[in-house]
A and B are shown apart, each in its own frame.
Chain A
Amino acid sequence: MNTNLGRPFSFLRGRAILPLTFLLAACVASRGADATGSRFVSKPGTAKVRVEGTSTIHDWQMEGTLIGGYLDAGADFPTKPGAEVKPGKVNAKVEAFIPVKSLKSYEKDGKPYSDKMNEVAWEKLLVDKYPRISYRVSDLVLKESPKSKDGAYVFDSTGELVVAGVTNKISMPVNVTPMEGGKLHIVGTTKVKMTDFKVDPPSPTMGVLIKTGDEVKLLFDWTVEQKTAPAPPSKP
């Protein structure tokens, strides 16, 4: 029996180096997922939100320019123009929100419409208790790859839409266009019913009784930007 007790750790030689290297590499790799910036955050100045509705008197629209949140791209998510992605489930974590008070009513020509309508709408959305409308994506399925290099990837998203504190699972088609400079341009639209979120369609009295239609169309245009990578970890 040959025991090599005189030199400590000598039994590790040649055997543990591989596991240790692997461990170190794994550490680097997992930090690398953040370090290479798989997180895309909301970029100010680029967002557009629109809510279109109807009423017994006239159609109406509310608009906003704030969308907050982030997108964490999985390895198979298209983050650069021309990325090859197989149709089917794609990994990404997306959380987006719209501050309710950023939504304001406008005339068709873009002029501000009515402070009163804004206040009625916010109040119906229970803004003081739930200041945000949010969407948390649980599933993203790629339906169509872009036909050209700067085209959009067409996804079907499933997730939880929270309005006035009420959560509903919805499906929403979403187009994602990767742009140069580490940006993603995300566009989507969906129709929802106010009553599904326990929001009572407002019936304000403005000389005549106005009844707001239950169904509204939500449209959003969101640009997120890759977070700049932190400095690579120094050697141990």
Chain B
Amino acid sequence: MNQNELDALGFNRRDFLKGGSVATLMTMLGGVELFGQPAAPAPESKTTATTKVAVIGLGGWGREILRTLATLTFSPPNSSEKLPLVEVAAICDNYPAALKRASTEAPKAAQTADYKTILENKAIRAVIVATPTQLHKEIVLAALAAGKHVYCEAPLANTIEDARTIAKAARGAPELVFQAGLQLRSEPQRHFLVPFIRSGALGQFVLARGQWHKKTTWRTAAANAEREKAVNWRLDKEISLGLAGEVGIHQLDQGSWFFNSRPKAITGFGGVLLYTEDGREVPDTIQLVMEYPAGMNLVYDATLANSFDAAYDIYYGSYAAVMVRENKAWLFKEVDSPLLGWEVYARKEKFYDETGIALIANASKSVQAPPPTADQGPKVDTTLASAFENFARNCAEMDVQTEEFISTYGDDKEAMKTELGKLQKKLRPAASYLEGFQATVTAIKANEAVVTRKRVEIKKDLYELG
């Protein structure tokens, strides 16, 4: 894939093709399936070890995942040495060129076109599934059955039935970590915001508004017709959940998280406004109005035709509004809202005529707090890094506790599932199978609303796993 293709998919991150164009070309040539050398064992610290994982699905997002995983480190106790939190032991894709290209991000990983070989490898503790949405189910079910922890990208599946099957399988394996790819649910700033919002600081909710704007085609060129169809699955109206499902799901889920409820109805609009030449029927511009039981609506718009103001969400209440952008947030107070006190010391930023008070986790205590040290864990800059940091540590935690349980009580599977199930609540924050399922239901219904241009009601029991 070249720069254009990456832009087409809307990956507006750092320039990750620095010096890569020749390498890119080389990986596009040939197409021979390689089985690389098994990765050298990571140095083990005395108490925390590196977790071996595999990434299945090596498109643009799979490669972004590989890059993120490489940044995660930890320090053993009483040492400032940095060790990798995760070792990518294997990567998998059924398209040889994708496999080769991804291998530059994980040169020591074994390469395979068959995910089953990964599941048979006992040393690999977790798999990350980043294939096209409609292909998640088969791999996730097999991985859980093989006793692997699973990170399944969002949306979980492109049908409610498949999403339910995945979630139920995860529920049946409480000794395994299942994390849905809703990375905002692991992001520390939002965890600070949720209790702040729920404490009533915004007053009564009246509205939420979100947008995602990025001028990008979503169409990727490919070497042959078969590959063309496979790689442009987002533009296949039979398969794709469109902008609502593939992009909006994160912000729609965030709204439900902040409001602590799921929408009861969604009205959608959408059309192909810019990319009319390539025959696509999946809308490049959509709007949604999501109705929440308490009365407020979340109004959302996404487009592939314009980039202005990128992505953000604003939650409007009778006392204040909160704007959330990437991993920052600001509070805009009404003139008649009660004083919070700490705002006097907080940093303020001007947005045109409005003054936003920067909301930083623990800002009110910043005067007393001890200076940050290496003890507080590695610094993460992206929401994806937070999500994988938590995933890796949760996998390691569950593995240790499983081992300790078995050494204490023997191999009593029923008792083990019960005990380890209790531990799930104490893991680091991450989107669970239930949250992943409910967000997928919302996304599927949202897309349905867009495609039919109707108001679609969502009965409460649709959100239940059963």
Which residues in A have some Cβ–Cβ distance to B below 8 Å?
A: 42, 44-45, 65-68, 97, 99, 101-102, 112, 115-116, 119-120, 122-123, 127-128, 131, 204-208
Counting CB contacts under 8 A, is B358 at the interface? no
A residues less than 8 Å from B195 (CB atoms): none
B48, B77, B405, B422: residue with the most chain A Cβ atoms closer than 10 Å? B77
Tell me the smallest distance from the CB of B119 to a CB of chain A, in Å: 27
B46, B393, B404, B422: residue with the most chain A Cβ atoms closer than 10 Å? B404
Q: Would A120 and B78 count as touching, CB distance under 8 A?
A: yes
Tell me the smallest distance from the CB of B428 to a CB of chain A, in Å: 8
Q: Would B393 and A122 count as touching, CB distance under 8 A?
A: no
- Offer 14 A-B interface pairs, CB within 8 angstroms, sorted by A: A44-B416, A44-B419, A65-B419, A97-B408, A101-B404, A115-B377, A116-B375, A123-B77, A123-B78, A127-B46, A127-B47, A128-B46, A206-B375, A207-B370
Q: Would B407 and A68 count as touching, CB distance under 8 A?
A: yes
Q: Would B405 and A208 count as touching, CB distance under 8 A?
A: no
Tell me the smallest distance from the CB of A41 to a CB of chain B, in Å: 9
Q: How far is the CA of A116 from the CA of B376 in the complex (A)?
A: 8
Given A101-B404, A116-B77, A207-B369: 8 more A-B contacts, CB < 8 Å: A44-B405, A44-B415, A45-B415, A68-B407, A99-B407, A102-B408, A112-B426, A119-B48
Which residue of chain B is the closest to A104 with respect to CB atoms? B426
Q: How far is the CA of A102 from the CA of B46 in the complex (A)?
A: 16
Counting CB contacts under 8 A, is B409 at the interface? yes
Which residue of chain A is the closest to B412 with respect to CB atoms? A44
B residues less than 8 Å from A122 (CB atoms): 47
B residues less than 8 Å from A68 (CB atoms): 407-409
Q: Would A42 and B409 count as touching, CB distance under 8 A?
A: yes
Counting CB contacts under 8 A, is B371 at the interface? yes
Q: How far is the CA of A128 from the CA of B48 in the complex (A)?
A: 11
A residues less than 8 Å from B409 (CB atoms): 42, 44, 66, 68
Counting CB contacts under 8 A, is B424 at the interface? no
Q: How far is the CA of A206 from the CA of B371 in the complex (A)?
A: 8
Partner of A102, one of B375, B376, B404, B426: B404
Q: Would B405 and A205 count as touching, CB distance under 8 A?
A: no
Tell me the smallest distance from the CB of A58 to a CB of chain B, in Å: 13
Given contacts A44-B416, A116-B375, contact A102 B77 (CB under 8 A): no
Q: How far is the CA of A115 from the CA of B377 in the complex (A)?
A: 9
Tell me the smallest distance from the CB of B367 to a CB of chain A, in Å: 13
Tell me the B402-433 residues at the A interface (CB within 8 Å).
404-405, 407-409, 412, 415-416, 418-419, 422, 426
Q: Would A205 and B408 count as touching, CB distance under 8 A?
A: no
Tell me the smallest distance from the CB of A212 to a CB of chain B, in Å: 14
Counting CB contacts under 8 A, is B400 at the interface? yes
Which residue of chain A is the closest to B422 with respect to CB atoms? A65
Q: Is the interface of A mostly helix, strand, loop or mixed?
A: mixed
Tell me the smallest distance from the CB of B74 to a CB of chain A, in Å: 9
Counting CB contacts under 8 A, is B401 at the interface? yes
B residues less than 8 Å from A97 (CB atoms): 408
B46, B47, B371, B400: residue with the most chain A Cβ atoms closer than 10 Å? B47
Which residue of chain B is the closest to A99 with respect to CB atoms? B404
How does the 8 Å CB contact mask read for B34-57 relative to A, with 1 for contact and 0 for none? 000000000000111000000000
Q: Would B46 and A123 count as touching, CB distance under 8 A?
A: yes
Tell me the smallest distance from the CB of B387 to a CB of chain A, in Å: 17
- Interface band, chain B: 20 to 34
A residues less than 8 Å from B377 (CB atoms): 115-116
Q: How far is the CA of A99 from the CA of B415 in the complex (A)?
A: 17
Which residue of chain B is the closest to A206 with respect to CB atoms? B375
Q: How far is the CA of A127 from the CA of B376 in the complex (A)?
A: 22
Q: Would B408 and A123 count as touching, CB distance under 8 A?
A: no
Tell me the B18-77 residues at the A interface (CB within 8 Å).
46-48, 76-77
Q: How far is the CA of A138 from the CA of B353 in the complex (A)?
A: 78
Counting CB contacts under 8 A, is B373 at the interface? yes
Q: How far is the CA of A120 from the CA of B370 in the complex (A)?
A: 19
A residues less than 8 Å from B47 (CB atoms): 119, 122-123, 127-128
B residues less than 8 Å from A116 (CB atoms): 77, 375-377
Which residue of chain A is the closest to B401 with respect to CB atoms? A102
Tell me the smallest distance from the CB of A110 to a CB of chain B, in Å: 9
Q: How far is the CA of A127 from the CA of B441 in the complex (A)?
A: 45
B residues less than 8 Å from A112 (CB atoms): 426
Q: Would A207 and B371 count as touching, CB distance under 8 A?
A: yes
A residues less than 8 Å from B393 (CB atoms): 115
A residues less than 8 Å from B77 (CB atoms): 116, 119-120, 123
Tell me the smallest distance from the CB of A133 to a CB of chain B, in Å: 12
Q: How far is the CA of A123 from the CA of B426 in the complex (A)?
A: 22
Q: Would A67 and B408 count as touching, CB distance under 8 A?
A: yes
Q: Would A208 and B370 count as touching, CB distance under 8 A?
A: yes
Tell me the smallest distance from the CB of A119 to a CB of chain B, in Å: 5
B residues less than 8 Å from A206 (CB atoms): 370, 373, 375
Q: Would B405 and A66 count as touching, CB distance under 8 A?
A: yes
A residues less than 8 Å from B78 (CB atoms): 120, 123
Q: Would A42 and B408 count as touching, CB distance under 8 A?
A: yes
Q: How far is the CA of A160 from the CA of B419 in the complex (A)?
A: 29
Q: How far is the CA of A102 from the CA of B422 in the complex (A)?
A: 13
Tell me the smallest distance from the CB of B415 to a CB of chain A, in Å: 4
Q: Would A66 and B46 count as touching, CB distance under 8 A?
A: no
Which residue of chain B is the closest to A103 with respect to CB atoms? B404
Which residue of chain B is the closest to A111 with respect to CB atoms? B426
Tell me the B352-408 residues at the A interface (CB within 8 Å).
369-371, 373, 375-377, 393, 400-401, 404-405, 407-408
Q: Would A45 and B419 count as touching, CB distance under 8 A?
A: yes
Q: Would A99 and B408 count as touching, CB distance under 8 A?
A: yes
Q: How far is the CA of A29 from the CA of B47 in the complex (A)?
A: 48
Q: How far is the CA of A144 from the CA of B77 in the complex (A)?
A: 46
Given contacts A45-B418, A65-B419, A112-B426, contact A207 B408 (CB under 8 A): no
Which residue of chain B is the closest to A204 with respect to CB atoms? B375
B residues less than 8 Å from A131 (CB atoms): 407
Which residue of chain B is the closest to A123 with respect to CB atoms? B77
Tell me the smallest distance from the CB of B377 to a CB of chain A, in Å: 7
Among all A-B residue pairs, the 10 with the closest Cβ atoms: A207-B370, A68-B408, A44-B415, A99-B404, A44-B409, A119-B77, A66-B408, A123-B77, A120-B77, A119-B47
